[in-house]
Amino acid sequence: MIPAMSEEITADYFIAGCGIAGAVLATKLAKSGKKIVISEQGPRFSETDRAGMLLRARETLNDYADYNDDTDPKAVTAHTSASNGEQTVDWTALRLFGVGGTALHFEGIMSRPFVPDVEVRTRFGYGRDWPIPYAEFDATLLLAEHEVGVAGDFYNPYATPRSGAYPMPAHEFSYYDREIFAPALEKLRIKTHSCPRAINSRPYRDRPACQGCRICKFCPSGARYSPDRDHVPKLEKRPNVKIMDGVSLRRLEASPAGDRIVAAHALRVDEGTPIVVRAERYILAMGGVETPRMLLLSAQGSVHKDGLGNQGGQLGRGFSDHLNPYVTIDVGRPVGSRLGFETMISDYFRARVDRRRQPTFMIFSSPAMDWFPIGNEATTWATTGESLSLKDLRESIPRMATLSTMTELEGQGVLELDENKLDDFGSPLAKVTLKLTEWDRQGPAKLAELAPKIAEAMGAAHVSEITPPEFGLGYHPSGTTAMAKSLHDGVCDPDLKVFGLDNLYLLSNSVFPHMGASPPTLTIVALALRLAHRLEGGR
């Protein structure tokens, strides 16, 4: 067999991963005219692909079709999972590999962190503080909301005050949110407010306003932000940017002295052809699991024998995510249809709980008919003894709702290489051990306590037990390459430069020292804007 010829490419910036992080960063850097090369392991998805998925989703009752269904298995690093010892969550179907990354199918909730979220160690004695003061971060969060287009309302009685308005007004509240969810919480003296969404409420950034068609994972109109419909096409018009899809980064090579990266070794996944990229600067934007995994896979020499950036022994430590427990409620009257996304949430439990005793969480609720697998509860409630009443079952479905939380974790988990499980190229997969603490378990326990009260305030007929009892992850993996002031506390500095390496930067939620209850993506976009500014010499 003739050995595959190696291709060699040079660039000013090499970015691995073309999810929202890589795409936003590249867009900003591209303005400098410097040469940018992006390697993306997954494929490109066309509008025809998207239409096909949409039809399949419709045929299979909504959720059971997705972007990676037909992807070459080699381009998907499958079967990476998190475990708490008893239960295991497989991430294969959640994270996406392809131009656009996981944000191709994200829900677009763009909540901000609050001041206490970035000062948890100082204020409450757990987790790690961020090395960047919130005040410095606030302006960048605002820019990030404008960069992707977030619809939201200034009014949020629990949030850290904002320095500016959202670029678009919030979506009108759905019937369910306005007539059922908000009045029930009001009875418990809990205020509700709009849920900030990267979904256009009016035309914005060449994308139309939401059409209310309720298939948001594939959003046929483009109203929901997706990198492949916004930043990526703009990037591709730039002659100085090259996006290589189907190209997987396999390893970074450090100089003999170990003080800089001299090459990125990648492979074309279909042909197995090696590609070597030599760049001035290298940025890993491969998501919260593959970014730390790449640093571990690139262990070499005496300086980096335990992985790049790991002289302080921090790489892989501090893994966190969100727990997403939920209950099903038979509200006792028709709840209407889901708009496709929740228009309302409450941040009450992000601001008003004693964090020394329990985690914070966001709470939201939704008509369940076309969303959650509600069959179990509906069937149970329509069954008396051995006999199932189809009439009761049919009548109950339009009354079903779910109530769920996005719950903070302390962040005690560990990410390491699993030498027993290899990907298609023979490299160990990442293995995450979650290590839930007693404090972590208080979050789902609080939902178990609250749900019957909220259901009663709705006048509901039934409320289920929590599903899953304590362990359902949001796929917001974070924390294992934390930014810190010193290598003894993290893997990269506040400018996201890896400790000990002059030209390697990280951009993913793995750099979060701590993640409160808000989902991560707005913060990732803000970090992308900040990194682009820093790389181009700004302070």
Ligand X SMILES: Cc1cc2nc3c(=O)[nH]c(=O)nc-3n(C[C@H](O)[C@H](O)[C@H](O)COP(=O)(O)OP(=O)(O)OC[C@H]3O[C@@H](n4cnc5c(N)ncnc54)[C@H](O)[C@@H]3O)c2cc1C
Place of tokens 């002295």: 257
199 near ligand SF4 (CB under 6 A): yes
286 near ligand X (CB under 6 A): yes
Query: For the chain, how far is it from start to end, CA to CA, in angstroms?
Result: 53
Segment lying near ligand X (by CB under 6 A), choices 328-336, 381-389, 439-447, 520-528: 520-528
Choose the one of ligand X, ligand SF4, none that binds residue 13, judging by a C-beta under 5 to 8 angstroms depending on kind: none
Cβ neighbours for 477, distance < 8 A, ≥ 6 positions apart: 82, 91, 287, 288, 289, 319, 320, 321, 415, 432, 509, 510
Could you list the beta-strand ranges (E) of 296-381: 317-319, 326-330, 344-345, 361-367
Minimal distance, residue 107 CB to ligand X, in Å: 3
210 near ligand SF4 (CB under 6 A): yes
Give the pair of three-digit tokens for residue 255: 């100089």
Q: Which of 68, 102, 404, 405 binds ligand X (CB under 6 A)?
A: 102
101 near ligand X (CB under 6 A): yes
- Angstrom distance (rounded) from CA 224 to CA 489: 37
Choose the one of ligand X, ligand SF4, none that binds residue 249, judging by a C-beta under 5 to 8 angstroms depending on kind: ligand X
Choose the one of ligand X, ligand SF4, none that binds residue 210, judging by a C-beta under 5 to 8 angstroms depending on kind: ligand SF4
216 near ligand SF4 (CB under 6 A): yes
Pick between residue 343 and residue 365 the one whose CB is nearest to ligand SF4: 343
Minimal distance, residue 152 CB to ligand SF4, in Å: 15
Distances (CA, A) of 369 to 62, 106, 328, 426, 464: 11, 20, 11, 43, 15
Verify cis geometry, omega within 30 degrees of 0, for the bond prior to 468: yes
Binding mask 360-399 for ligand SF4 (x = CB under 6 A): ----------------------------------------
Give the pair of three-digit tokens for residue 485: 């002031």
Choose the one of ligand SF4, ligand X, none that binds residue 97, judging by a C-beta under 5 to 8 angstroms depending on kind: ligand X
Sheet of strand 413-422, all strands in order from the earlier edge strand to the far edge: 88-90, 81-83, 428-433, 413-422, 317-319
Choose the one of ligand SF4, ligand X, none that binds residue 18, judging by a C-beta under 5 to 8 angstroms depending on kind: ligand X
- Angstrom distance (rounded) from CA 235 to CA 216: 24
Choose the one of ligand X, ligand SF4, none that binds residue 359, judging by a C-beta under 5 to 8 angstroms depending on kind: none
- Angstrom distance (rounded) from CA 472 to CA 466: 11
DSSP secondary structure letters along 79-138: --EEE-SS-EEE-TTTS--STTGGGGS---B-PPPPGGGG-HHHHHSSS---SS-HHHHH
214 near ligand SF4 (CB under 6 A): yes
Give the pair of three-digit tokens for residue 170: 């919030």
364 near ligand X (CB under 6 A): no
Pick between residue 432 and residue 460 the one whose CB is nearest to ligand X: 432
Segment lying near ligand X (by CB under 6 A), choices 5-13, 94-102, 184-192, 351-359: 94-102
Q: Which of 73, 212, 272, 469 binds ligand SF4 (CB under 6 A)?
A: 212
Cβ atoms < 10 Å from Cβ of 81: 18
Segment lying near ligand X (by CB under 6 A), choices 36-44, 181-189, 218-226, 363-371: 36-44
Could you list the beta-strand ranges (E) of 285-427: 317-319, 326-330, 344-345, 361-367, 383-384, 387-388, 400-407, 413-422
292 near ligand X (CB under 6 A): no
Say what the alpha-carbon torsion angle 312, 318, 319, 321 is, to the nearest 10 degrees. -150
106 near ligand X (CB under 6 A): yes
Q: Which of 215, 276, 303, 393 binds ligand SF4 (CB under 6 A)?
A: 215
Give the pair of three-digit tokens for residue 343: 């228009």
Pick between residue 216 and residue 294 the one whose CB is nearest to ligand SF4: 216
Pick between residue 212 and residue 373 the one whose CB is nearest to ligand SF4: 212
Minimal distance, residue 168 CB to ligand X, in Å: 16
16 near ligand X (CB under 6 A): yes
Minimal distance, residue 475 CB to ligand SF4, in Å: 20
340 near ligand SF4 (CB under 6 A): yes
107 near ligand X (CB under 6 A): yes
Q: Which of 95, 105, 207, 224 binds ligand SF4 (CB under 6 A)?
A: 224
Choose the one of ligand SF4, ligand X, none that binds residue 94, judging by a C-beta under 5 to 8 angstroms depending on kind: ligand X
Minimal distance, residue 229 CB to ligand SF4, in Å: 11
- Angstrom distance (rounded) from CA 310 to CA 499: 8
Choose the one of ligand SF4, ligand X, none that binds residue 226, judging by a C-beta under 5 to 8 angstroms depending on kind: none
Cβ neighbours for 35, distance < 8 A, ≥ 6 positions apart: 10, 11, 12, 13, 240, 242
Q: Which of 228, 290, 377, 408 binds ligand X (CB under 6 A)?
A: 290
229 near ligand SF4 (CB under 6 A): no
- The residue among 517, 382, 401, 529 whose CA lies nearest residue 455 is 401
149 near ligand X (CB under 6 A): no
Give the pair of three-digit tokens for residue 154: 């200034």
- Sign of the four-CA dihedral 529, 531, 532, 537: positive
- The residues binding ligand SF4 (CB under 6 A) are 199, 210-216, 219, 221, 223-224, 340
- The residues binding ligand X (CB under 6 A) are 16-22, 39-42, 94-95, 97-98, 101-103, 105-109, 248-249, 285-287, 290, 475-476, 508-509, 519-521, 524
